[in-house]
Amino acid sequence: MRILVISQYYYPEQFRINDICKELVKRGHKVTVLTGIPNYPEGKFYKGYGFTKKRKDAKDGVDIIRLPIIPRGKNSIMLLLNYISFVISGFFWSKFTRKKFDKVFIYEVSPMLQALPGVWYAKRKKIDSYIYVMDLWPESIQLVTNLNNKIILKLINKVVDYIYKGCKRILTSSESFIENIHKRGHSKDKLVFWPQYAEEFYKPLDKEKYIKKEMKTNNFKIVFAGNIGYAQGLDIVIDTAKILKEKNVKAKFYLIGSGRAKEELIKEVLKNNLHQYIEFIDKQPAERIPEYYANADMAFITLKKNLISDEILPAKLQSYFACGVPILGSADGEIKQVIEKSKSGFCVQSGSAEKLAEQIEKCINLTQEELKQMKENSRKFYENNYEKQMLLDILEKEMKIREDDKNV
């Protein structure tokens, strides 16, 4: 099948849609991605890309069309312009392109507005479109921009419902999203829970073969890898480190990645002399992240407490499970439920540095046998719930793109 994928973010930006597209190609489908000029999360165009550079590209058998957009920059105004520019460029593309496809698959992380070109194209060509929802709107835009204008929010809600109605299936990365979207008036018959998987390189590795010099310490090592943004709520690490320092607890956080909140966190570490408890490691290729997990005692996940944090199930969690690493969380809702169900670690109340510090002290006293059991539980939970080929089979079935379903 000829599949048009709509995703404002794509290679070299690190999102799971890169792997989904590559796998669909392996399964015999012709995949074209409509995306933007890469600029996430730094806020500026990647080197070698621009308005006149690499606008048409290819990677892993996937054709890539890059629409002209405004980079997201470092503030809310630039972010909004970034969102709008993709929609405007996508509108003209959807109306005038001569390219033909059989299905449209929309990969929806913020902004949800990015789905519009896909819906417009599908309506124009009278084909089915499918949306994979990983971020709820308008809640997300309210959190990012502090938007409270009732007229604007009403307009955004209409756009969101227009997108949902325009899609044959709504796949969600979190079970909690199903009820949220159903309450908006959309039938549960078109809602499908489709959790994220992790790429094959996310797997347990032998620590002795991947020793990281920067992590060579006797302290209890806690690793976070990913976007260091405001939504992650990593300021809790600062407050927790202060408590650990006061109690002289031998534990250390390793924060790997880049993002809009990183500079502020670094300043706080310097201001409070917390370098023995928090270390920043530059953004790494995704393929190397499991090496750091192999050197960790636990992997850390947290989200800033907000309107939808209880309903989100970040892809980071599947990566932790796939690598068979014990998990330490500071979150509520679905994240907490999944960690507890998997018996892969511990999750304390969101935003409580005191409870997090207390849990870290308890974790330090775990026996090697207890940690080993959590590692095994973590990997087993991944295999039973998030195994890649199993989930891709489900995706093909929902989109009716298996070989024997072509004429359905």
**pLDDT tens column, 358-370:** 999 999 999 999 9
Over range 37-53, report the average pLDDT: 92
Element at 261 (helix H, strand E) = none
Confidence of residue 406 (pLDDT cuts 50, 70, 90): very low
Over range 268-290, report the average pLDDT: 94
Query: Cβ(371)–Cβ(297) under 8 Å?
Result: yes
Place of tokens 């300021």: 235
The span from the CA of 385 to the CA of 91, in Å, is 38
Residue 25: burial class (beta carbons within 10 Å; 0-12, 13-18, 19+): middle
Whether the per-residue pLDDT at 129 is higher than 90: the answer is yes
Whether the per-residue pLDDT at 286 is higher than 70: the answer is yes
Confidence of residue 264 (pLDDT cuts 50, 70, 90): very high
State phi, psi for 255 to the nearest 5 degrees: -105, 115
Instruction: Give the chain's length.
Output: 408
Whether the per-residue pLDDT at 167 is higher than 90: the answer is yes
Over range 330-342, report the average pLDDT: 94
More confident residue, 379 or 227: 379
Over range 215-232, report the average pLDDT: 89
* Cα torsion through 84, 87, 89, 92, rounded to 10: -140
* Cα torsion through 86, 309, 336, 133, rounded to 10: -30
Is the dihedral angle over the CA atoms 371, 315, 358, 238 positive or is it negative?
Answer: positive
CATH H superfamily, domain 207-385? Glycogen Phosphorylase B; (3.40.50.2000)
On the question of a cis peptide bond just before residue 111, with omega within 30 degrees of 0, the verdict is yes
Over range 284-305, report the average pLDDT: 93
Residue 80's CB: how many other CB atoms inside 10 A? 18
CA angle, 17 then 19 then 23, to 5°: 115
**Helix, strand, coil % in the chain, rounded to nearest 5:** 45, 20, 40
Whether the per-residue pLDDT at 403 is higher than 60: the answer is no
pLDDT of residue 407: 44
Whether the per-residue pLDDT at 11 is higher than 50: the answer is yes
Task: Show the tokens assigned to 121.
Answer: 């194209």
Whole-number mean pLDDT of the chain?
92
Kindly state the greatest CA–CA separation across the chain.
Answer: 67
Same fold, 2-197+387-405 and 207-385: yes
The span from the CA of 346 to the CA of 43, in Å, is 34
Over range 300-304, report the average pLDDT: 92
pLDDT of residue 402: 59
First vs last Cα of the chain: how many Å apart? 13
* Residues sharing a CB contact under 8 Å with residue 184, sequence separation 6 or more, in sequence order: 160, 161, 164
Whether the per-residue pLDDT at 408 is higher than 50: the answer is no
pLDDT of residue 59: 96
Which of 3, 6, 311, 32 has the alpha carbon at shortest distance from 131?
6
The span from the CA of 351 to the CA of 299, in Å, is 17
Pairing of strands 278-281, 251-256: parallel
* Residues sharing a CB contact under 8 Å with residue 134, sequence separation 6 or more, in sequence order: 107, 108, 109, 172, 173, 174, 196, 315
Looking at domain 2-197+387-405, its CATH architecture is 3-Layer(aba) Sandwich (3.40)
pLDDT of residue 107: 97
**Percent of the chain's residues with pLDDT above 70:** 98
pTM, full prediction: 0.83
Whether the per-residue pLDDT at 16 is higher than 50: the answer is yes
Which range of 113-122, 191-200, 313-322 scores highest in mean pLDDT? It is 113-122
The span from the CA of 312 to the CA of 268, in Å, is 28
- Domain ranges across the chain: 2-197+387-405, 207-385
Confidence of residue 44 (pLDDT cuts 50, 70, 90): very high
Which of 200, 219, 264 has the alpha carbon at shortest distance from 364?
219
pLDDT of residue 168: 95
